[in-house]
């Protein structure tokens, strides 16, 4: 196979949980451009439907489906719907995330923490296992978890100097993303014998208009490339992991963070 052909996703079926957010949107765009029959699913069906319509206008096949990761039957229905429509799922990208952590500090109740953990941990196990069972039948598959460089490091308080931003005070995001990184290694061990690869991308901070200039400056200096992430930085790594070009790669955590965690 020509090396460039190995990056193609033509004939492949992919699912992205989420798909309308900062990283999700470019993941969907990349999969569609590489030729995959792409499904996107989350609770916010209206936003996903807009994404699907935008990609359809570009000539790509993207379908929006409903998904509530907090409910077993919703995960099961999603799997059955995709199998019924396409007969298989070659690529699963666990991208959706609960944002409960943004309002939770050390002093919240167990129930408060559990709401986030149900989606960001328990549902991750459920959906990965369910789609892996389908991949086993074809003895092939790629599962990509979207982690975070914050799953590897602690809080860099210097990033917030001179801004009104408050340093991340919730343990949840760091705990969940760190757990996702090691879950990737565990799942790779379990699924490797079935030729199913499991890898994780750990993105850095995505620059948005609401970021104060001082924060962007502080953060950018912390990276080796001198900038925050943009709307295309994850596209190449996603296609590499989803395609046959990475057929001997599993159990890896790839930092896509401009060198933030390399310092």
For the chain, the domains span 5-262
Residue 58 has pLDDT above 90, yes or no: yes
Which residues lie across from 58 on neighbouring strands?
none
- Average pLDDT rounded to a whole number, residues 13-36: 96
Please report the pLDDT score of residue 54 as a whole number.
Answer: 97
Please report the pLDDT score of residue 104 as a whole number.
Answer: 74
- Indicate the average pLDDT of the chain: 95
| Domain 5-262, CATH number (from 3.30.1370.60, 1.10.4010.10, 3.30.499.10, 3.40.50.720) | 3.40.50.720
Chain segment 211-253, per-residue pLDDT in tens: 999 999 999 999 999 999 999 999 999 999 999 999 999 999 9
SS3 of residue 212 by DSSP? coil
Q: Which residues of 142-179 are buried (b: 16+ CB within 10 A; e: fewer)?
A: bbbbbbbbbbbbeebeebbeeeeeeebebebbbbbbbb
- Average pLDDT rounded to a whole number, residues 154-164: 93
């Amino acid at each position: 196979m020509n090396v460039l052909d190995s990056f193609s996703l033509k004939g492949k079926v992919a699912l992205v949980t989420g798909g309308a957010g900062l990283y999700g949107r470019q993941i969907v765009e990349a999969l569609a451009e590489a030729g995959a029959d792409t499904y996107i699913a989350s609770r916010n069906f209206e936003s996903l439907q807009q994404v699907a319509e935008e990609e359809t206008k570009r000539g790509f096949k993207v379908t929006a489906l409903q998904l509530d990761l907090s409910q077993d039957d919703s995960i099961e229905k999603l799997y059955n719907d995709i199998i019924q429509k396409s007969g298989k799922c070659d690529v699963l990208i666990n991208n959706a995330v609960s944002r409960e952590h943004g309002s939770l500090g050390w002093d919240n109740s167990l129930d408060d923490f559990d709401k986030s953990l149900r989606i960001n941990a328990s549902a991750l196990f459920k959906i990965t296992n369910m789609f892996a069972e389908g991949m086993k039948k074809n003895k092939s598959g790629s599962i990509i978890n979207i982690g975070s460089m914050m799953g590897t490091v602690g809080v860099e308080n210097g990033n917030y100097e001179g801004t009104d931003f408050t340093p991340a005070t919730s343990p949840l995001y760091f705990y969940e993303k760190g757990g996702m990184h090691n879950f990737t290694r565990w799942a790779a061990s379990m699924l490797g014998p079935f030729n199913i690869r499991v890898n994780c991308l750990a993105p850095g901070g995505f620059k948005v208009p609401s970021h104060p200039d001082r924060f962007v400056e502080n953060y950018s200096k912390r990276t080796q490339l001198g900038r925050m992430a943009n709307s295309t930085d994850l596209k190449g790594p996603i296609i590499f992991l989803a395609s046959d070009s990475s057929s001997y790669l599993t159990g890896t955590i790839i930092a896509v963070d401009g060198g933030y965690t390399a310092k």
